[in-house]
Structure 1
Amino acid sequence: MQSNEAPVSMEVEAVPSKPSSASAALPPKPIFEPLKAHEMSDGRVQFRKVSVPPHRYSPLKKVWMEIYTPVYEQMKIDIRMNLKGRKVELKSRADTPDVSNLQKCSDFVQAFMLGFDVIDAIALLRMDELYVESFEIKDVKTLRGEHLSRAIGRLSGKGGKTKFAIENATKTRIVIADTKIHILGSFANIKVARDSLCSLILGSPAGKVYSKLRAVTARLAERF
């Protein structure tokens, strides 16, 4: 038996929801000041020591103020020369703005000790993507006697012509200290300069290295 009553439809009226008083009464978000360098290290003072080679002692005395001024005034790092231990000592301060400043200053002083000019080494303080790479001629090829002397001569060129050409093409700075080679620059540029120097050590003529260097630097310029 079926019922003849029609189903009753219920209409529900939508009532706009009011914001809860709890969410409206939330306090504003706290604003925390960034931690200072000495607070990140729990107030501990950090040190770095850089040894001074005998042949860099006199040049260091001549340009001491050029090294001291940016380290102390701009990077807010204490620096002194320990005459007894022949070391440059660096120390963080309470007003050091960044924890990385101490390491940057240490790299800057170390670059000068390796033979770079202050004008070139100071770029390590201002740019983050620069670093120094070092290697020896014997790491590339074992050479002795006159063969080693000729390899060093090929690296420098007449009057330093070859070294300057590689520096200008790769935007790096190169120091050739006896059998050790130090390169200051960015990662990609150091790789190009190192490849060119290794080719010279292995006996490639300078003309061939120049042509290859021009091709590689042209590709790098297109990429960036």
Structure 2
Amino acid sequence: MTIDPKLIPNPKTLTHFRAFLDKVYSKSLHQLYHHQSPKPSRSRPRLVLVIRTGNVGRVLLNHKEVKQEAEKVGFEVVVFEPKPSTPLSVAYKLMNSSHAMVGVHGTAMTHTLFLRPGSVFLQVVSLGTQKAAELCYGKPAKAIGVEYMEYRIDAEESSLINKYGKEDKMIKEPMGFEGKNWSYDIMKIYLKEQNVRVDLDRFRGYLKEAYEKGIKLLDRGMV
């Protein structure tokens, strides 16, 4: 997800695109969708926990516990499960009024484009998706001024370990399957068959770091 200025007549960047999104969706948005999400908290930074459910792959299996941990850290947490029918204006309003976003690597991470510069994006990187996570969402997030954090899961946090075991190359050397070895069958395993259950003790440290960044945004008047 990027823009190559060299390929268009009038060079534009993701920063320009982010400004365009602001122009399109911020116009009179509070009048149209005021009733669809709570007002921003002035005492706690807001974190959007992006989830997916069903047999789709890369499901955060313990998202309820993650929500509780984020609240214990100090966040106001909104759980967001985007659907094909979710209006982009609704997603924009939620993200643009929040201070942090957390989610497992996947297409829903494109919502980072709706985050304000300075906001925090904590991407949970599942096995076999490290390069794609950085290229598709990490790099663009940094390009628009979003604070990017990565939580790379350990083998024990992936559901694939139950199927393949600790010693299988799919578990021990997932990076070896990225790039030229990324066949459809491999893609299906890492993207469609894999779910995630984060280690709450380890993940808590990342939430605390994101919270500290969120508090600084509030102190600067970004409500």
Per the normalisation by structure 2, the TM-score is 0.26
Question: Which has the bigger relative contact order, CA under 8 A and spacing at least 6?
Answer: 2
Per the normalisation by structure 1, the TM-score is 0.26
